Structures are given as C-alpha cells and as structure tokens.
Amino acid sequence: MKLSILFSTVALALAASPVSLGADTPVYKDQTAPLEARVDDALSRMTLREKIDIIHAQSKFCSPGVPRLGIPELWTTDGPHGIRAEVLWDEWDQAGWTNDSCVAFPALTCLAATWNPDMAALYGRSLAEEARYRGKDVVLGPGVNMYRTPLNGRNFEYMGEDPYLASVMVVPYVKALQNEGVAACVKHYALNNQEINRHTTNVIVDDRALYEIYLPAFKAAVVDGGAWSIMGSYNRYLDEHCCHNNRLLMQILKGEWGFDGAVISDWGGAHDTPQAIANGLDIEFGTWTDGLQDGRSKAYDNYFLADPYLAAIESGQVGTDELDDKARRVLRLLFRTSMASGYGHGSLCSDEHYAAARRIGADGIVLLANRDNTLPMNLSDGARVLVVGENAIKMMTVGGGSSSLKVQRELTPLDGLREALKGKATVDYARGYVGDITGEYNGVTSGQNLADSRTPAELIEEAVGKARGADYVVFVGGLNKSPGQDCEDADRSGLELPYAQDDVIRALAAVNPRLIIVNVSGNAVAMPWVDSVGAVVQAWFLGSECGNSLADVLTGAVNPSGKLPFTFPRRLSDVAAHAVGQYPGVKRADSPIHDERYDEGIFTGYRWHDSRNIEPLFAFGHGLSYTTFEYGQLTADNSEMNPGSTITLSMPVKNTGSRAGAEVVQLYIADNESSLPRPQKELKGFSKVYLQPGETATVTFTVDKTALSFYDPARGWVAEDGDFKALVGAASDDIRATLPFTYRNETAQNSNNNSSEPVSGALGCR
C-alpha cells in the first residue's frame, strides 16, 4: 500500500512540477548539491500551508511530504529491536500484510551486555537493511535512558545504568544505521526512567545528575553519532512536557550540542500549541492515537502543530521564524533519507540477519555463577537433559509494548537445545509453572496455545520427578513481556520472580545439583536460591535466534563473554531510587502530577553501592567465562598530566585456560579528593579482547582531561588539580590493578565554564 501511494504521489508531483530534471534542475532535487543549499531551495519554494503540513503526522506512522514539489512522505517505524508490523492508516489494528514479518534482534540490554562496539555496528547495519527493504526512513530507536530502578518496565529497551557504557555502545549503532540511509531517532529524551505514571511524572533532578548521568548517552548519539532525529519523552521536567521543553530541547540539545536534526514527539507526547511552537518540537505524531478521536473529519489537521499553529500565524500571534526552522529540520531529515541516493534496497529476513542476531545474542549472554564448573554441559552418550519452565517454550518477540514484533520465526530455548543436542542427548520438558498464556499484542499473536489446567503442586511434582534422573536440569524462567513485567506503560511490583518460580527452583535444587538457571529478563531479579544451584545465566530477550544463542553458550560452542550493564541488587532497599529517591513520585494535591525527586543525585547503580558499602548480588560489569584470564602489571607512560596532555595506560592480559574466549577489561577512575562529592570510581574505558589459549594481548587506555571531569553547577565541567587512581579489573567489584597519577591545571582558567564541554568527552578514555 505504502509504496504504490508513494510512487503515484511522486509521479503526479513531477508531472505537475514547472521544472525539468535537466540542466535547470532545482537545487533541492540535485543530490550533488550541498545539503543546506538543497534545504534552503526547497524551503523557499514552499507555501505556508505546506510548511505546516510537513511538521505533523498524516497517519499512524507517516507525515506528509510536499507532493507539488515531488518531496515524498516521511515514514517511521517502531524499533529498536526489529521493524514493526504494518498497521492500518488511522488505527492500531494490523494492516494484514503477509510480507511484513521481520528478524527480531536481541533487546538492547543484551547489546549493552556485549560491551562490544562491533556488535553495536552489526546491529545497526542489520536493522537498517530490514528498514530499507520495508521502505522506512526513520527507526524509532535506540533507547538510552538510564537504568535507575529494576522495576522500570522498559529497561529491557535501554543500555544499562552507566552513562559511559551507553555512550560508547550507542554511537556505532547510530552510525551504522544511518550509513544505510535510515535515520536513528534516539529516545526517550530525557529522564524517562520509569513507566508508572509516565504521562504525569515531573522529574526533579539537580543539574549535576542531569549532565553526568542522564544526558551523556544522548549527547554521544548526537555529537559523536550524528543522530538525525531524537524523540521527546512523555514525562515532565521543570514542569514542562519533555516533547516541548525549553531547557532540554532549545538550550541543551539545539543550543549546547548543536543538534541539526528533527525532534519528534512520542506518540501523544505533545500537549500545547504555544509550547510546541517555542520549545523545540519539530514533528508531532500520535496526539490522538486512534487518529480520529477528536471526532472531526480531518483529525491530523487539528494537531497542536497543524491548524492551531496556522491560525496563530495568520492572526499575528506568532511569526514564522520557528516554523521555518522546523520545516528546515524536516527537510534535512527527508534529504538525508528518502531523497538521498546511493543506498541499496535493503534485505528482509536474510540469512545474514539471522546470523547477526544469533551472534549478538550469544555475545551478550552473561554467566553469573558457575559452581563446580557446571557449565558448559559435559554430556556422555545417552545423557538426559531436562528443560523446565514456561519461558523455555514461550515466544518473547510478541509483547512488551511498541517494541513488540511480528517475526518470520523464533526459535525457543527448548527447540534450540534439542537441535544443538540432537544425537548427543535426550531432551525432555516439564512446564514447572504457568505464567502468561495470552501471546498477543496489538493484533499480532504468537499462535501458541500455552493453556495448562494443572495445579502448581502438580506441575512441580512432574518437574521434580523428571529431574531426579537427569544429567542436567535447565530451568528457563524469569520475566516475560506482559504488563507489570518487562513491558511498556507499567512497572514491576517487586524484585521477586513472578508465578511462584522460586518454589519450582528450590524443589529442583533439592533433587539435582546440576541445575542451571536461565533468567530471561531485561531487569535484575531477586535470587534467594542462588547458592543452592549449579549455574546462573542471564539470557535477556534474545529475539528470533534465542534458542540458538542460548544453546551455543550452554553447550560451550560459544564461550560466554557478556558482562552486566547494570547492578543486580540483593533487595530493593539497596537501590538508591528506593532508598533515598522518591520512586514512583508523590502526587500533588488536586492535581494529576506526580513530583519525583532524584535525591540520590549522581549516586546510581554501582556508584550508590560503592558509596554505602552495599554488597550487590552481582556487580555492574560482572560476567564469568569458561576459561581464565590473568591480568598483568598496569603501567603508564607518565605519572602526571595537564589539560593538554594524556596518560596512556597499558596492561597485558593472558588467556590461561584451555578455551578460546573474550574478556572485557574495564577501566575505572577514582578522584582522591574533590570540592564536590564524587563516586568512589567511575567507568571511563573498556576493551573486549579475544584470546586463544595461552595468548597474551596488551590492552591500552588513553586518559585525557575529560575522563577526570565532573559537572559543577557553578562552573560547568571541571577537572580539578589533585591525585587520581586508575583501577583496572574484570568488574566494578573485581579490580585487579591500581595505579596513581596526578593532574595539574596549567592556569586557573582551565577550570572551565563551558557546560557543553564533555560527555562526548566522557568518551575520553579510548
């Protein structure tokens, strides 16, 4: 439907155009002309009405072009893990296409857990190829909001708790996506760190936490990644909706960072015409999310940036400067995507994309615990493996909110293990527990019948009976993508596993020591049984190739190398947002608004655990391997640096085991003394090194001023004179070497007053 409409629209426009495509081709049609010249030329030819038209939606997922000038529509699609199925023009119902299935890639928590920028680039390129084949110009992703609480239903779409890690991982994703002519729309900008009360929460956060924790990944995507669009979030900040927020959009994004792309509203995120005009929103989508809710015949013309905006201009209430800026940004987006040449047609559901999904998934799986080398499985002929748990058979690509996908295929953990162990072992299955049996979201259904009328006691009895004689028991549980778990528009009610899974695990552990727990989730969960099981694997939502990725790691075909992108706390009270913050917010009297104070400031995740000497269940950066690595002596080329110099750190790392594998070597920086409180240490560099048995590689990090800087609201970004320490290790709680060094500012003015200085500078440790 879309392509035929597009081609006919362009054909009519070209036929009606007063210019030819010869030597007198208008600048805006000349793809060899500089981008800004094309934008200026197109803008000069547009009427007031045409400028208004291109800054708001005309359907669920597209905004109009300029047919008279041959400028096509702009088509967006939900991501960030795959290309969403087509819906009807004005409704969320499925369009009924038979060729809109996709490959589901692992969730972004898994990508972050790879700690591997090469995987991020592979991910972005593969996703872009699927988007181009489907005729999409903008992928609504990636998401880089910070992991503040393990209850956030949307954490699985994001890249963890650390701003440096998220910054490093988002840049190659954005670049690779856009290298294929598909725009990234980085979301949700900003402070969208929970789903409960997401439309009514007003975040109260100090500038230091804003700049050090919640903005760096967005800035990296914009400044280093060159993102072409960004999506505002639903929540408020400074009592203004973030989709038209002066501080976030005008002062920081477009001012300090020099963003030249388009700001797109989240669907229904615009609320006010004057604020949308003045405060930086460029394209309005989904204000009435059924397309016709206001009851008028032209619902989209009644959007805040449609007829009300036009009326304000025609009545003289506002001028056209803001409109011209918005139209320029939309034109720039169009010329970078749908009107750009030199890109291929993309590909859908290719063997290469399935291979990429499998590889990324296996690279991100984290081995959390491995008592007595339970893993990898060591199976003799005739071995018996029992798989237990609903998540072993449940499709996880359907559900979770806007990232729900219609896939061509999804290999479950049970089927993946059966395929991997074919001819080597007998693989049996027991349900263990019953959770969500629906398997439907937005008209896409899994096609599975998961109904089971047995009681919990009967299910446990069956599983225990089969487990007694098994060589290995693999329990696949965790969360799913149902409301109240890992799902948009709702948060979890607690840290514990749902559906009484703890009872099943305890019963299995009592009869079989070779019990492997596979936790499928995008969030930390409580593990009261952790010391009584053989192994624990964090498997994430792995997408279409879930079963293969998981089987690769459990069988040892792939050596696990993932590291946690967030802290697993032992209890909710160990999480800063719950200990001193105001999660989920305090409702104002006689108002729907919930004020939420981020009183923990910069002390989130491992920073908080370090500051209070709280032992985590599993630390940020933690992840085991089937081989062993020896860290050598940490050395530096200098012991002192200044604003114009750097220090290069070097450390040999050796694979001392019998398997090839990868280790993520992590660099943290500690400031011994500062004028403002600082974390005990902060991640400022990492390197994933692949080593054969016996092989040694030297890992190097270059530390510059930005790696030492913090944000002082009175001075901006500043690196203070003093003594620092470089700490290198395998996790935030597993430091293998420490080296002191000194920083000296040459002149007083080097204590900086430019609030836009680092964050891409936070990438200063390479």
Per the CB < 8 A criterion, the answer to whether 160 and 97 are in contact is no
> Residue 459 phi/psi, 5° resolution?
-65, -40
Number of Cβ atoms within 10 Å of the Cβ of 476: 28
The H-or-E segment that residue 78 falls in is strand 74-78
Six token digits for residue 355: 């291979």
Closest CA to 406 of 543, 610, 314, 499: 543
Give the separation between CA 491 and CA 197, rounded to whole angstroms.
Answer: 9
**Which class for 326: exposed (0-12), middle (13-18), buried (19 or more C-beta within 10 A)?**
buried
Any catalytic annotation for residue 266? yes
* CB of 627 closer than 8 Å to CB of 661: yes
* Crossing angle of helices 117-133 and 163-178, rounded to 10°: 40
Beta strands 696-703 and 535-538, pairing class: unpaired
DSSP 422-452: TTTEEEEEE---------EETTEE-------
Which residue's structure tokens are 């950066």?
Answer: 621
Are residues 710 and 678 in contact, defined by beta-carbon separation less than 8 angstroms? yes
Which amino acid appears at position 31 of this protein? Q
H or E, element range at 579? helix 576-579
- Alpha-carbon distance of 365 to 416, in angstroms, equals 15
> What CA–CA distance (Å, rounded) separates 109 from 166?
10
Among candidate residues 100, 137, 224, 266, the one labeled active-site is: 266
Q: What are the backbone dihedrals phi and psi of residue 636, each rounded to the nearest 5 degrees, phi first?
A: -135, 150
H-run or E-run covering 12: helix 2-16
The residues that are catalytic are: 266
